Amino acid sequence: MTVAAVCVVAGGLFWPRDASPHNPITTTVLFNREVSKIFQQKCLQCHAGGGLAVPFTTYEEARPWAVAIKEEILIRRMPPWPAERGYGDFANDVGLTEREREFLVSWIDGGVPKGDGEPPAYIDHSTHWMLGNPEVLLKAAAGVSIEPGGQVRFERLIMDTGLGQERWLRALDYKPDKRVTRAAFFSVADTGQYLGSWTPWRTSVQMPDGVGVRLPARARIAIDVLYQPPTNALAQQASGQVVDVPSLGLYFAARRPARELTTTVLQSQPAAASTAATRAQRVAATFVAPRDLSIVEMRPEIGPGGRSIEVKAKRPDGSSQVPLWIKRFRPEWPTSYVLRQPLTLPKGSVLQAIAYFDAPAAPAQGPPRFTLTFSSF
């Protein structure tokens, strides 16, 4: 999917608007206590030194941005997690809860107090291999140059595993340049098998226990990376060109696992009516489970004009659920959705994805389309 050139890069959304130093303190919420913990859990994956956006690690760094932070969280633009709560439970959910949002607003409206002592130290886990030393360590043969002032764009990297025989992958870890990398998606180049995704808040991929992905001998890993150019807000961190030379760590099962992870790609059918006069166009895709399945991860990709997508599951016994609903799709922040517990679908279950598109701004956009890639065993 081509990311629209109008996407706003991270960090550029904010412009410092300091709260008045004369505001009275009317809240018990403190930066060094509640606020710093929320930032560490939901924000510092991008908003730390050497990351994508302006740092909020310390009180002195965060305070000038207080009003902008409030605006971003109230319109739910940040953190960039568009899935609606109550529809699916995801292990990589970085969205704020209502309680966290209320804490932050209370802190900002209440005079942005610092509090005594020091906040807990922030540990950046992306700097080390979360799963231990990889069994196979791959490195890009050539770096990707990201110039200031450019556009947010995807680049495809291919890494040769060098495997002399078939192996079963159980996990992987990825190390890009965090200053310019928004997301990465992994697949087997020759088979199209989807492996998982990387975002600043989810830096490693692990298969469920007893599940693995077959990598054939001489397999190559394709990595589709979404890059953003260094921004003015990050001038001190990334002045000039940045060259990303990422590393990929692979972890294998000792023996063939009991279950194999497979990939299914749902592609939308053309809309029944597609005219410029149509305010919203409904596009759908349907999948009937040929056997008992357990879905562990979903990745929606929506073409230009796409504004929402809903995934519905209906079982043969008549029960149904909505495991994913994205009311306002964010093409500039693509991610997969990793279910905390697999979604079980007995044979004959129907999985349907429905997306809504705005009327195309120009015929060149073509008909509305989307894909839903999901991994299951």
Which DSSP letter does residue 31 get?
A: I
Instruction: Give 51-109 pLDDT, tens digit per residue.
Output: 899 999 999 999 999 999 999 999 999 999 999 999 999 999 999 999 999 999 999 99
Burial class (CB in 10 A: 0-12, 13-18, 19+), 133: exposed
Backbone angles phi, psi at 100, to 5 degrees: -65, -40
Q: Which domains occur in the chain, in start order? A: 31-122 (no CATH), 126-259 (2.60.120.230), 261-376 (2.60.120.230)
Length of the chain: 377
| pLDDT of amino acid 127 | 81
Angle at which helix 98-109 crosses helix 66-74, to 10 degrees, equals 150
User: Starting from the edge strand earliest in sequence, which strands make up the sheet with 181-188, in order?
Assistant: 153-160, 220-227, 181-188, 194-198
Instruction: Give 179-216 pLDDT, tens digit per residue.
Output: 999 999 999 998 999 999 999 999 999 999 999 999 99
Report which secondary-structure segment, H or E, holds 66: helix 66-74
In 3D, which of 44, 22, 72, 12 has the Cα closest to residue 232?
A: 12
Q: Whole-prediction pTM value?
A: 0.89
Do the bridges between strand 211-215 and strand 259-260 make them parallel or antiparallel, or are there none, so unpaired? parallel
| pLDDT of amino acid 4 | 39
Instruction: Give 335-352 pLDDT, tens digit per residue.
Output: 999 999 999 999 999 999
Give the number of other CB atoms < 10 A from CB of residue 5: 9
